[in-house]
Amino acid sequence: MLKRIVQACFLIMGGTLGILFLPELLKVLSLNDVALLNNSYVTAIIGAIIFYLLTFWAVDYVFNFINWAEDSLVKIPVADVLFGSVGLIFGLLVAFLIGFAFNAVQVPFLNAVAPILLTLLFGYLGFQVGFKKRDELLGLFGRGSSKKRPAEESSQKAFGPSLKILDTSVIIDGRVADICQTGFLEGTIVIPQFVLSELQHIADSSDVLKRNRGRRGLDILNRIQKELAIKVEIYEGDFEEIQEVDSKLVKLAKLTNGVLVTNDFNLNKVCELQNVAVLNINDLANAVKPVVLPGEELTVQVIKDGKEYHQGVAYLDDGTMIVVEEGREYIGKRIEVLVTSVLQTSAGRMIFAKPKLLEKAL
C-alpha cells in the first residue's frame, strides 16, 4: 500500500513538473513549433510517464527511508516529541514576528534571505530548548497539578506509583517473577527496550556463564509476560545522549514517576541520591528472613571451617550464614547448636552459635 502511495506521489510530481518546465525545455531544444507538445495536458502526461519510469528505480529507496523514519519516530518518547514540537512551533512563531518586522525595511536582498535564515535558526533553537528542557517543564506541570489536586497527591503517597521498572540484574536474578506471582508487586511492569537489548547482548556472549545468565533473563521475562496475571509493557524509547543503562533507568524512572526494581546495591544508592523510588529485592529477602534470637536452638549441618581457629560454618535454608564456635570437628555432621548472638551487616544477617553438646558438657 505504501509503495502505491509513493508511486502516486511521483506521478503527481511528474505531471506538475511537466506542465511547469517542459515548455521551457522545448524552447531550448527548438521544438516549440510542435503544437501537440505545447498542450499542457500532453506535457503533464509526458512528465508523469517519465517520473513513473523513475519509480522502478527510486521507489525502494523512498520506501526504506519512510520505514526508517517511522521506526525512529515510534521509538522517541511521547514527552520528547510533544515538548520538541511545542518548542519548534514557538521558535517558528518568533521567526515569523521578527521577519514581519524586517518587511518594513525595503532591502531586496535582506527581505529575501532574512526570513529563511530566521526560520531555520529560531526553529532549531525552539526545538532544542523544548527538547532539552522537557524534564523541567514536566516537573513544573507536576507541581502545578499537585497544588490543584491535593487529594490525588495524598492518594499517590499512600499507594505509590503504579509503574515498576525492571533493571537487568533483577531480571536475571529471577526472584521478581515469584514476587509477581504472589501478588506483592502490584501495578504495571515496565521493561525498557534498552534493557532487552542488553539482555540479548548478554545471551549472545561467547562466555558460557554470561550466555546462560542472559538466556535465563529472557526466560524469566517470557514467564512474567505469558504466565503471570500482571500487566507488562515494553518501553520503546531510548536516551541516545546517555550511554550507561543504569543512568537510562534512573532517567526513565524520573520521567514516568515510576519505581525502579533492582538488586544492584550501587544503583540503589544512586536512586536514593537522586530521589528516585526504588525497590531492592535483596532488602525484601533480608526483611522476610526468619528472626533468630540469642538462646534459641537450631539443627544445622556444618559444611566447612571458618576464618577463625576451630570455627565451623553452616547455612540456614534461606542462605543465612551461621558461624559455629568450636565447630570445626563437626564438619560434615548435622548437630544441634545454641544461638549466642545475631549480627546484621550490609551483606545480610550473620548468626553466631556454639554446639549444644558443649553446653551440656559444661
Edge-to-edge strand ranges of the sheet holding 304-305: 297-301, 334-345, 348-355, 321-324, 312-315, 304-305
What is the pLDDT, as a whole number, of residue 108? 63
Residue 158's pLDDT is what?
Answer: 36
Query: Which pLDDT band holds residue 26 (cuts at 50, 70, 90)?
Result: low
Cα-Cα-Cα-Cα torsion 11, 13, 16, 19, nearest 10 degrees, comes to: -70
- pLDDT higher than 80, residue 157: no
Q: Highest mean pLDDT range out of 38-42, 106-110, 282-286, 326-330? A: 326-330
Which is more confident, 286 or 261?
A: 261
Identify the pLDDT of residue 199.
87
Identical fold for domains 169-286 and 297-361, yes or no, is no
Model pLDDT, residue 139: 61
Tell whether the torsion through CA atoms of 277, 283, 285 and 288 is positive or negative.
negative
> Tell me, what's the pLDDT at 148?
43
What is d(CA 225, CA 188) in angstroms, rounded to the nearest whole number? 11
What does the DSSP 8-state code read for residue 259?
E
Query: What is residue 150's predicted lDDT score, i.e. its pLDDT?
Result: 45
Rounded distance between C-alpha atoms, residue 162 and residue 71, angstroms: 28
Kindly tell me if the per-residue pLDDT of 278 is higher than 60.
yes
Share of the chain above pLDDT 90, in %: 1
Q: Give dist(CA 236, CA 76) in Å, integer.
A: 8
Greater model confidence, 71 or 129 = 129
pLDDT at 33 over 80: no
Rounded to whole angstroms, the Cα distance separating 307 from 329 reads: 14
Residue 254 has pLDDT above 80, yes or no: yes
Spans of all domains in the chain: 2-131, 169-286, 297-361
User: Which residues are registered as beta bridge partners of 138?
Assistant: none
**By C-alpha distance, which of 206, 241, 274, 216 is closest to 80?**
241
Q: Does the domain spanning 169-286 belong to CATH 3.40.50.1010?
A: yes
Instruction: Flag the least confident range among 56-65, 70-79, 140-149, 173-182.
Output: 140-149
Is 339 or 319 the better-scoring residue by pLDDT?
339
Encode pLDDT of 282-293 as tens digits: 888 777 777 788
Helix extents (H) in the chain: 2-28, 40-75, 78-102, 108-132, 134-148, 150-159, 168-173, 175-182, 193-203, 208-226, 245-256, 265-273, 281-287, 356-361
Query: What band does 19 get if pLDDT is binned at 50, 70 and 90?
Result: confident
100-110 pLDDT, tens digit per residue, is 777 766 666 66
Q: What angle do CA 288, 315, 266 make, to 5 degrees?
A: 55
Query: Cβ neighbours of residue 140 under 8 Å, at least 6 residues apart?
Result: none
CA distance 142 to 291: 42
Residue 208's pLDDT band, with cuts at 50, 70 and 90, is: confident
- SS3 call for 75: helix
36: pLDDT strictly greater than 70: no
Mean pLDDT taken over the chain: 78
Task: Indicate the CATH number of 297-361 among 2.30.40.10, 3.40.250.10, 3.30.420.40, 2.40.50.140.
Answer: 2.40.50.140
Categorize the per-residue pLDDT at 149 as very low, low, confident or very high, splitting at 50, 70 and 90. Answer: very low
pTM confidence score: 0.49
Q: How far is CA 142 from the centre of its chain?
A: 21
Q: Region 196-223: what's the mean pLDDT?
A: 87
Percent of the chain with pLDDT over 70: 81
